[in-house]
Amino acid sequence: MASKFTAESGHWYTQDGEPMYTIVGANGKERNTTLRDARKEGFVPSVTTVIGIAAKPSLENWKIDQALNSALTLQQNPGESLNEFTYRCKQDSKEIGRKAAERGTVIHAMIEQGFLGESDTKPYRAIKEYLEEHFPGEEWVAEDSFCAPSGYGGKIDLYSKSGIFVDFKTKDGLEGKEPSRLVYDEHGMQLSAYAEGCGFSEPERVSIFVDREQTDLIAAYKWDKETHTRHLSMFNSLLDYWKLVKNYDPSTVNTKEKSDG
């Protein structure tokens, strides 16, 4: 389960690839890691943090739909101003997104437990069956983190020693959905960035969607190898843009000097 600190913050990693989502502040209390902390300690942003700097029309449209749904289903209270009602609608729609994210975190944990040999869960069994059919005999590594020389990091849902990278997403109402209609360039970019960060130039990439209610129902999309170069170029362009916007390039941090100082 995601902590209360990391739920709405960007993810950061050390130059050694260790997650550093939170940090202990000067007051001795745990808090979100900030850009200021990253500059001081040489932390690198996550792949999803970098991709997050670009607009996501599909996500924004979903947020608009949720806000409209809240406005249509909630009633304005007697004496409640329009501004107050609008604020309540916004909070209600955010709650829907928060619950969806929490459910996604739970399902990710269920899958991770399966691949770590800790629990035989429904989503794990469905995903394992797919992988054994399409990629037999592979040795899989779950939830491994890294730091790339170009100054970004991440935690990979699943990958194999031969260079197959798998990312899990959760979605409502998967039944009957065509996998090709579920994926966007950002999904391919994420997998390409993971592969590049781990030193694989010609990876296999798979996006697997798990139904939030029927957790044994999945939809898998195997990306064309030809799109890897384009997706990697898109990500690296965003990484350059992120560095310029933040005025911070973690790839230039000299970790030896930092440790000696």
The CATH class given to the 12-260 domain equals alpha beta
Question: Quick one: tokens of 15?
Answer: 């130059």
Among 148, 128, 175, 123, CA closest to 251? 148
Looking at residue 238, its pLDDT comes to: 98
pLDDT of residue 256: 46
pTM of the model: 0.86
**Bridge partner list, 210:** 170, 218
pLDDT confidence tier of residue 98, bands split at 50, 70 and 90: confident
Q: How far apart are CA 48 and CA 17, in angstroms?
A: 15
Query: How confident is the model over 39-69, as pLDDT tens digits?
Result: 999 999 999 999 999 988 877 888 888 899 9
Supply 231's token pair: 């997706």
Over residues 151-180, the mean pLDDT reads 96
Contact in structure between 17 and 147 (CB atoms under 8 Å):
yes
The least confident of 57-66, 149-158, 209-218 is 57-66
Sign of the torsion angle spanned by Cα atoms 53, 55, 61, 64: positive
pLDDT tens digits, 118-133:
989 999 999 999 999 9
Tokens of 189: 């970019």
- Rounded to the nearest 10 degrees, what angle do helices 57-73 and 82-115 cross at? 130
